[in-house]
Structure 1
Amino acid sequence: MTTSPRGWKRTERLDAHRLAEALCTGTGVRLTVEGPCPGGEVGAAYVRWPDGHRSVLKSRPGARIEDLRAGPLAVCEVLRRHGYPCPSTELALQVGGAAVLVQELLPGAPVTRPDHADLDRALALNEAQAGLLADRADVPEMNLYLVDDGPGYCLHEPLRRHGRRSGDLERRIASLGAAHPPRLSGGDVVHHDFHHGNLLRTDGAVTGVIDWDGACRGDRRFDLVTLRFGLHADEQAPGVVDRLDAILDGMPDDVLRLSWAHMGLRMVDWAIRHFAPGDVDHWIDLAEQRL
């Protein structure tokens, strides 16, 4: 997850032309690169097919296609069968150490400042994720990484080294993780990056939910904690944050605290390594609230 406190997403460059050539060599399909996706879409570019339709080209460095097929891509197939608005994957190819995907371009624009209607839609989407993977033990459960490092995020050492507050936070998170199982169990779909910038909207209706790269099996309520961290990035419409906080207050303590610890670790670690020093305190302030 590449997120930022004032813009939620952090942009990274993608060598789209090279990847399009690799896809052509590997699949015989020649895609025309049109340019990077706006709004901080990490490692993504717009491409056009020979028949004229447009898609999104994405790269996952360090990922394997077979792992994605067993996890995020399998999750999206289940969601689509139930009418959930997530993109289909049109091409998938291993290019060296990266998994390269071409995915359906869904209509709509990202939600920038969610209002109460947007929160209603997000809650309805989250409810629709309940139980969809109850019979899919083959889909991996969500790893919280409260004791060990995640794959490029949720790193513990940056918090230990940064300062007293971050070090204290890391010790509390690791202690909580040591007292609980490492995975958040459940039969729900977990998006894993369910912030408002990944919700697409047109004329007041949700037209898509994007960025399912970390999708897994677990407790869907984790995504509501992620949504709360997303709302912390900027000033929101009056009452929206308070309303979501009230919903979180009703969650089981173990689910809420473990999810909050994961997101606190994730965002503070990322802020330390990628943002200005003042932004680190911004995220520590939030991470400490429910720990």
Structure 2
Amino acid sequence: MQTNEKLTFPKMGCGTWAWGNRLLWGYDESMDQELQNVFNLCVANGVTLFDTGDSYGTGKLNGRSEMLLGEFSQAYAGANQDNICIATKLAAYPWRWSRKAMISACAGSAQRLGKNVDLVQMHWSTANYFPWQEWGLLDGLADLYEQGKVKGVGLSNYGPKRLKKVHKKLSDRGVPLTTLQVQYSLLSTYPVTELGLKEVCDELGIKLIAYSPLALGILTGKYSEKGSFPKGIRSILFKQILPGIRPLLLCLEAVAKSRNKTLSQVAINWCICKGTIPIPGAKNQAQAEQNIGALGWELDSGEVAELDKAAGNTDKKMVQNIFQTQ
């Protein structure tokens, strides 16, 4: 018997992809209390959607991101406690071939979380390399919904053509497709402006989730062409992109100054004004406070138009996810 509860979403969520990356590089247990504080701060301020994945924290840290979120949600007691929604993405690993594989994967996530997954998502489509593998995995997600083990089913990195096919497949089984998660920001408008995903999602009743709304930190104003760069591969990316986005950053600065907000808050609010649910990452309380400051107000149509124009005129864009389909 189906026992699904209604799945609702706040205006903004927290993407634990940032935590997941941190878990892979330099993580130690001393971070746990800081991350618990971040979680508590977010929930207390009405940010109750938390997105993670079963591939965040691998090897020795197998599933550590999910385990932490489970611990944090169980330890939290306060405002909005009953509204906490934990979404996880199940990876389409090559060894996952069947619906049973996804049911088993979700059971593993639930065990690490200490509770059932609220929103289960396909982490990426295999359409670009093994399209036939995908259908069995999607059947597994539908099975989970029909069995009442999850409240909703979502996708990640799907384009409109593939989205419509999956939507029909799930609809034929009476399973609603709740969300679609794509890389979306002022530096990554491709999914909306070129693929037209927002219109398709609106037509199908699907919520569009924007991951990396701050473009890995480029839109925070923390970095400049002549300043310091982050460590690792991001340094190479930032050196390539920053010189070509000066007009966009100047526009962001002007809007932020007029609103008495930060660049990050304006960039996140722009995503909200576009009808998406942004999921900025937060590794400490300062970052969480910055993100929360994007709520409770809205850019006006003129400001959105200015930012749209500046984004459209940038010489550089963020590299698209290789799994993003058409």
Indicate whether the TM-score tops 0.5.
no
When normalised by structure 1's length, the TM-score is: 0.27
Higher strand share: 1
When normalised by structure 2's length, the TM-score is: 0.25
